[in-house]
Every structure is written in structure tokens, then in C-alpha cells.
């Protein structure tokens, strides 16, 4: 008889292992008596460690934030809840009572469903809805076309070709490298590739490699094992690479990644394994990697600032996102779309004068789509009437004919009756102004120009003083 019962228990355990949802069975006191393999996968806690544990104690230890056992036992009813785990997963819990002959709850069966993908998808839907609201609804007069939604609203052949290439890449799991200037929309393209891929319902995890402090980037990317350093959580922590497992890992500004982390990332791309800080054994991960940079990585390799082996691992599928000045057919539709979007957001209506439309169309846009969006938002906020006039476009001027002028985005200074020194000073001021608009800070401009920060600071102050005269 005992053998039959034992065999039945084995069969039940095997049966539970076939389920796609996690299962945890506890007795009336909260002691775990059965868990399936899916539960171990979702929580990251081995089955043998869970068995015999009291789930309430695991809440106190910080392993779980929510348990349903005691509430189900007290109420005798089915109860649901949401569990947020340290590994970044979001789980939906449903506790079912199993009653004995007297009607008392003898066991609680908790069904655990991973809704992380749904949460990520919901965020993605919100983001896509905002984009659609931004770029759709253009009138025929404004756009010259019928009602077309983003991204087909983009009129330039360059962007049509780009999205055709992106569609082909999305059908694969190939590592992808996005190249382009600051503000061209590398993030948008990365999200589009993810949304069109077979991983669309899995997480899209963005990592800004330039914004995470160097002393934290290792643990943020790769996580850490329990007790690996002073102040570490005793349960350890999964990194962003693990959090993206099953989905897409977007490494923005990959050129800013420290050399020490480049070797760690290379291991991920080679072996698809992650070794947490302080851990002795790696974990397998299933991620699609998309990297983006505004740097010329080949030059960075030559300078010794970027690993050549990592560069070649990244450049499997390469997409260059053209700057806005190279896709002028997109400028006015984008500007009008931003005007409509922020008009709805701020409950203000305005339109461009013909002169403004001409200036926007012919300007060089060194800050690309981001500069255009910020400008339109500011114009709408400060507009006093219903028409945005050219006087509001401070520092924005149309291009004139000529290759040199087109490259600079400004008119060449007048030379008649002027000294060479004064002409060069005007050109220098123009370059500094354009650089500040593009890079946003004195520090970044100094880095791009390869000069000391104090030099740019001094010249900027001199420029401001000249304006006040």
C-alpha cells in the first residue's frame, strides 16, 4: 500500500512538471510539500531548497513579497495576488483551497503564472500608442498624403530602405549594431525590431551604457551572488542581462562601456552565459542583443578604446540610421506630427507660417529628430497666438546654396571689409553654438572637439558677453 502511495506521489510530481505554470503545494501551516520544475525556473529557487520550507518565513527573509497560504486557510476561498521577484519577474499567484472531510483547509495549491512578458508588452503598447499619436493624424494638406500611421508616414527613401532592412533583421536573432548620430532615433529602431521579432512578447531591456556609474555597471549588467560583497542582498540579484532572457537586450551607447566590462559582454555573446559577481558557475541566457552607438567603433578599436573581438561580434547585422539632414522629406511631416502631439498634450492649437515651414525644411538639424521635437515643443509652449512666426526661431536659419554652407548648416559670414581674425572668430562662435545644440553640454563638446573643458568654457563665456553688447 505504501509503495502504491509513494508511486502515486511520483506520478503526481511528474504530471505537475508538464504544466507551463508554476505549482506550489503547502499544508495548512504553510510548509511546502510539492513544487514543480516550472516553479523553480520562475523563482530561481531550486526545488530541493523549497521543499520543507515555511513560505511565511521566506517572506521575512526577503525571498518573496507575497504569500497566499494563510489568507486562503483563513477564508477557505480562492485568492489571487501579484508577486514581484528579485530577478525582475512579475508573477500572478492564485491560491486554491483543498479541504478535508470536516471542511477545513488541509492544503493550498498555488498556481503561479509568469506575467512579466504581459507587463513588458503593456509598456510596449503604451509606448507604441504614444508614437502613433505623435506621428499619425496628419491632414492631407499638411502631409500631402492620406492618413498613414508611423512608420510609413516617413517619406524619405532612406528611411523606407532602413525599415525594410530592419524587417528582414527582425525575423532573425542576429546580433544587431545600430549606428547614427545623437538624436536620430536609435532607440525607436531597436524597439521596432524587437516588436516585429518572435520575441515581441518577451522583455525589452534597455541599458544606457554611458549613464551607469563604472563602479555599479558590473553588478547592474551581470548581477551578483548572495554575500558576494558587503551590503549585498543575501539572496543575490539577477542582472539586466538575465532580466532580458527570452527577449531583447538593448545596449545603448555601447561605445561608452568600460574595457573591463567589454570582456564580460564578449563572453555573453560567445557562450550565451552570464557569470554573476561572486558566483562560481555561469547561467545560460537566451537573449537577442541590439547595440547602438554614435561613435565610429573602428576608430575606437584603433585607439585601443574598444575591443576588436567585441566589435566583430557586434557587427553581424549593421544598420546606419541617417541623420535628419539626409532625409529632408521627413522633416515637415515630423514637425507637424510633433506639433499635433504637443498641441493635444498642452491643449493648444497653432500652425506654422510659410516662412517657418521653409526654415524648418532647410535647416541642418545637427541634433536630429530629438532637436526637432524639443524645438517644436518649446515653440508651442511659448506661442502667444495661433501662428508660429519666424521670429520665434532664434538661432535656426535655412541653408543657402553651396556645399560648405550645407555642411555647416549656416550662412557663411560676410568677408567684405573685414579682417581675417574677425571672420574666423565668427566662424568659431558658430561652430561652438552648433556644438552646444548638438551635444548639450560643455563637457561633451570639449570631449568631441578634443580640447580642454576650460577652453570651451572660456570661449562660451566670451560668446555670451558678445551677445550682450
* Residue 173 and residue 137 share a domain: no
Whole-angstrom distance, CA of residue 379 vs CA of residue 10: 70
One domain for residues 174 and 297? yes
Examine residue 204 and state whether it is found in any structural domain, yes or no: yes
100-106, Cβ contacts within 8 angstroms, sequence gap of 24 or more = 103/76, 104/28, 105/28, 105/72, 105/73, 105/76, 106/27, 106/28
Of the three residues 321, 350, 378, the one that is the final residue of a domain is 321
Is residue 85 one of the residues assigned to a domain? yes
Strand pairing category for 90-99 and 79-84: antiparallel
**395: domain CATH number?**
1.10.8.60
Report the distance separating Cα 137 and Cα 128, nearest Å: 15
In a domain, 120, yes or no: no
CATH (domain of 417): 1.10.10
Residue 165 lies in a domain: yes
C-alpha cell at 414: 560676410
394 and 458 together in one domain: no
pLDDT attached to residue 466? 67
Q: The C-alpha cell of 180 is what?
A: 547614427
- Give the DSSP H or E segment for 120: helix 116-135
pLDDT at 47: 87
Given 377, 404, 431, the domain boundary residue is 404
Q: Per the domain annotation, does 125 fall within a domain?
A: no
**Predicted pLDDT at 2:** 46
Same domain, 307 and 339: no
Q: Do 396 and 451 fall within a single domain?
A: no
Distance, in Å, from the CA atom of 193 to the CA atom of 176, rounded to the nearest integer, reads 10
Number of domains in the chain: 4
- Residue 17 covered by a domain: yes
Q: Are residues 313 and 169 in the same domain?
A: yes
Report pLDDT for 119.
61
Same-domain pairing of 301 and 247 = yes
Q: What is the pLDDT of residue 247?
A: 92
203 plus 249 within the same structural domain = yes
Q: What is the CATH number of the domain that holds 184?
A: 3.40.50.300
The parent domain of residue 346 ranges over: 132-148+325-404
| Same domain? 384 vs 420 | no
Question: Does one domain contain both 164 and 313?
Answer: yes
Q: Does residue 123 lie in a domain region? A: no
Mark whether 176 and 310 lie in a shared domain: yes
Q: What CA–CA distances, in Å, run from 28 to 8, 24, 52?
A: 21, 13, 13
175 and 317 part of one domain: yes
Residuewise pLDDT in 10s, the chain (469 residues): 444 545 566 777 788 888 888 999 999 899 999 989 888 888 888 888 888 989 888 877 777 777 888 889 989 999 988 887 766 778 888 999 999 989 999 999 999 888 776 665 665 554 444 334 333 322 232 333 333 233 344 678 888 889 899 999 999 999 999 999 998 989 989 999 999 999 999 889 999 988 888 788 888 888 888 877 776 666 778 888 888 889 999 999 999 999 989 998 999 999 999 888 888 888 899 999 999 999 999 999 999 999 999 999 999 999 999 999 888 889 998 999 889 888 888 889 899 999 989 899 889 899 998 899 889 999 998 888 889 988 888 767 665 433 334 444 445 566 666 777 777 887 888 888 777 766 667 777 777 777 887 788 788 877 777 655 5
CATH code for the domain in which residue 33 is found: 3.30.450.20
**Residue 119, in any domain of the structure:** no
Q: Please give the Cα distance from 454 to 469 (Å, whole number).
A: 23
What is the DSSP track for 176-202? EEEE--TTS-HHHHHHHHHHTSTTTTS
Domain limit, last residue, from 321, 338, 360 = 321
Amino acid at each position: 500500500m505504501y509503495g502504491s502511495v509513494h508511486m502515486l506521489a511520483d506520478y503526481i510530481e511528474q504530471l505537475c512538471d508538464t504544466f507551463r505554470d508554476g505549482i506550489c503545494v503547502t499544508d495548512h501551516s504553510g510548509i511546502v510539500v510539492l513544487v514543480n520544475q516550472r516553479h523553480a525556473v520562475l523563482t530561481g529557487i531550486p526545488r530541493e531548497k523549497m521543499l520543507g520550507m515555511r513560505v511565511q518565513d521566506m517572506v521575512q527573509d526577503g525571498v518573496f513579497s507575497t504569500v497566499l497560504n494563510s489568507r486562503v486557510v483563513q477564508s477557505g476561498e480562492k485568492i489571487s495576488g501579484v508577486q514581484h521577484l528579485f530577478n525582475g519577474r512579475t508573477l500572478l499567484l492564485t491560491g486554491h483551497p483543498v479541504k478535508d472531510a470536516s471542511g477545513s483547509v488541509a492544503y493550498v495549491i498555488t498556481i503561479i503564472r509568469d506575467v512579466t512578458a504581459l507587463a513588458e508588452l503593456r509598456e510596449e503598447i503604451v509606448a507604441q500608442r504614444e508614437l502613433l499619436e505623435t506621428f499619425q493624424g496628419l491632414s492631407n494638406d499638411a502631409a500631402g498624403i492620406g492618413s498613414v500611421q508611423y512608420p510609413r508616414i516617413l517619406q524619405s527613401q532612406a528611411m523606407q530602405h532602413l525599415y525594410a532592412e530592419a524587417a528582414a533583421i527582425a525575423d532573425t536573432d542576429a546580433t544587431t549594431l545600430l549606428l547614427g548620430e545623437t538624436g536620430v532615433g536609435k532607440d525607436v529602431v531597436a524597439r521596432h525590431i524587437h516588436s516585429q521579432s518572435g520575441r515581441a512578447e518577451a522583455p525589452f531591456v534597455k541599458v544606457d551604457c554611458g549613464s551607469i556609474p563604472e563602479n555599479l555597471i558590473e553588478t547592474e549588467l551581470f548581477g551578483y551572488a548572495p554575500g558576494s560583497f558587503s551590503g549585498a542582498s543575501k539572496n543575490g540579484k539577477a542582472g539586466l542581462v538575465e532580466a532580458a532572457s527570452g527577449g531583447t537586450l538593448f545596449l545603448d551607447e555601447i561605445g561608452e562601456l568600460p574595457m573591463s566590462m567589454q570582456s564580460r559582454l564578449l563572453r555573453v555573446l560567445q557562450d550565451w552565459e552570464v557569470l554573476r559577481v561572486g558566483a562560481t558557475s555561469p547561467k545560460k541566457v537566451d537573449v537577442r542583443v541590439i547595440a547602438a552607438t554614435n561613435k565610429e567603433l573602428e576608430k575606437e578599436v584603433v585607439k585601443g578604446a574598444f575591443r576588436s573581438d567585441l566589435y566583430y561580434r557586434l557587427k553581424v547585422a549593421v544598420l546606419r540610421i541617417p541623420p535628419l539632414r539626409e532625409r529632408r522629406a521627413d522633416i515637415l511631416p515630423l514637425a507637424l506630427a510633433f506639433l499635433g502631439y504637443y498641441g493635444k498634450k498642452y491643449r493648444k492649437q497653432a500652425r506654422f507660417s510659410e516662412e517657418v515651414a521653409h526654415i524648418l525644411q532647410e535647416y541642418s538639424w545637427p541634433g536630429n529628430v530629438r532637436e526637432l521635437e524639443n524645438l517644436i515643443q518649446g515653440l508651442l509652449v511659448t506661442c502667444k497666438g495661433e501662428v508660429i512666426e519666424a521670429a520665434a526661431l532664434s538661432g535656426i536659419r535655412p541653408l543657402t546654396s553651396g556645399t560648405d554652407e550645407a555642411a555647416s548648416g549656416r550662412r557663411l559670414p560676410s568677408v567684405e571689409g573685414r579682417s581675417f581674425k574677425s571672420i574666423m572668430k565668427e566662424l568659431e562662435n558658430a561652430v561652438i553654438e552648433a556644438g552646444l545644440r548638438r551635444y548639450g553640454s560643455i563637457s561633451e563638446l570639449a570631449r568631441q572637439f578634443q580640447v580642454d573643458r576650460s577652453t570651451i568654457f572660456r570661449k562660451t563665456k566670451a560668446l555670451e558677453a558678445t551677445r550682450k553688447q
